Amino acid sequence: MKYAREILSDVEGYVPGEQPKTADIVKLNTNENPYPASPKVLEALAEMGPDALRTYPDPVASKLRAACAKLYGYPNEAWVIAGNGMDEILALALRTFVDPGDAVLTPYPTYSLYKILTQLHGAVYVEDDLDDRYQLCESFFGRKARLCLLSRPNAPTGVASPREEVERLCKEFEGIVLIDEAYVDFAEDSCMDFPRRFENVIVARTFSKSYSLAGMRLGTATANPDLIREFLKTKDSYNLNAFTQAAGIAAIEDREHFEVTVAKVKATRSRLTDALRGLGFAVQQSQANFVLARWQGQPDAEGIFEALRARNILVRYFKMRGLKDCLRISVGTEGETDTLLEALRAIIR
């Protein structure tokens, strides 16, 4: 079996040890936020004394979980668990609720890590194709599995299933439904109220996108306290370092910075969508901080991907069924978007 890390480079276009950081590279391939995190985060980190390095962190991240519970509209930290990025939360969900040999259900296409984690766990990966508008088909509702992983908005499509459909799924599905809301802060609505209403529902979030903290590694799961207690039993003792805990609290407290940043990304997403359509791409309305752009002309999508890369502009190309004529493009700054569009105009001319 391939090492997970090797496979990860396939998933997100990440090359270990080769994170491009130079000012010359326009990096629109991993859906990071183009704007910096709140300055309050850097202040909180600067205030951490040497004791924060010398001593172990709070193993259950109580203050951070309480801050998240308040943010998500829940009474206290018993409803939330925090992890080293949402990727850890996803791995923990498998470790906690799925036995090897059990089935894990997802739509296709979706976040590629689901398949890797499921296979590493020795569980059976069951995919049900989305329709041509990237919505769930009726067959999805009839499937049986121990765990359903549903990214809403979905990656790499940027499309969100209607809330009523997710609600129906939560009611009818016999196993646990994990709703991955990695991109929800850029969307029209969320399902964060579902854990209060359904005992089998987990809503997962990340600070990597809307809070610009991908490097910090912070994700959460919100669920009925019975499920959270099970999560707490299986997580590593000190899964979240002290700096990440402090950074998360500071980020939550700076609501204004969050709102301004999200609004800027959404405005650029609109401009990018219109411009791509003007160039002849078919683009579904995205509810995330990236767009999926379908291209039927010449050069083909892979050719455009290569030509952009030659110009130091990185977007995502998936050599996968149903996506071979698509590019996934993260929403960058206004300047990065101009650079991208200018390059596209030259390439497809």
Q: Which residues bind ligand PLP (CB under 6 A)?
A: 31, 85-87, 111, 151, 155, 180, 182, 206, 208, 214, 219
Identity of the residue, 162 or 215, whose beta carbon is nearer to ligand PLP in the bound complex:
215
Identity of the residue, 83 or 343, whose beta carbon is nearer to ligand PLP in the bound complex:
83
How many helical (H) and strand (E) elements, i.e. helices and strands, does the chain have?
Answer: 14, 12
- The whole-angstrom separation of Cα 285 and Cα 45 is 37
- Three-class DSSP category at 299: coil
Identity of the residue, 111 or 173, whose beta carbon is nearer to ligand PLP in the bound complex:
111
Least CB distance from residue 219 to ligand PLP, whole Å? Answer: 4
Least CB distance from residue 322 to ligand PLP, whole Å? Answer: 17
Least CB distance from residue 95 to ligand PLP, whole Å? Answer: 16
Q: Which residue's entry shows tokens 């709703």?
A: 179
Q: E strands of 170-322, at which residues?
A: 176-180, 201-206, 219-222, 282-283, 290-294, 313-314
Cβ(204)–Cβ(219) below 8 Å: yes
Least CB distance from residue 50 to ligand PLP, whole Å? Answer: 28
Q: Phi/psi class of residue 122: alpha, beta or left (left: φ > 0; alpha: ψ in -120 to 50)?
A: left
Query: How big is the chain, counted in residues?
Result: 349
Q: What Cα–Cα distance (Å) separates residue 191 from each residue in 6, 200, 276, 298?
A: 33, 13, 30, 40
Least CB distance from residue 214 to ligand PLP, whole Å? Answer: 5
Identity of the residue, 316 or 344, whose beta carbon is nearer to ligand PLP in the bound complex:
316
Least CB distance from residue 206 to ligand PLP, whole Å? Answer: 3
- The whole-angstrom separation of Cα 293 and Cα 314 is 14
Identity of the residue, 180 or 336, whose beta carbon is nearer to ligand PLP in the bound complex:
180
- The whole-angstrom separation of Cα 83 and Cα 241 is 10
Identity of the residue, 114 or 347, whose beta carbon is nearer to ligand PLP in the bound complex:
114
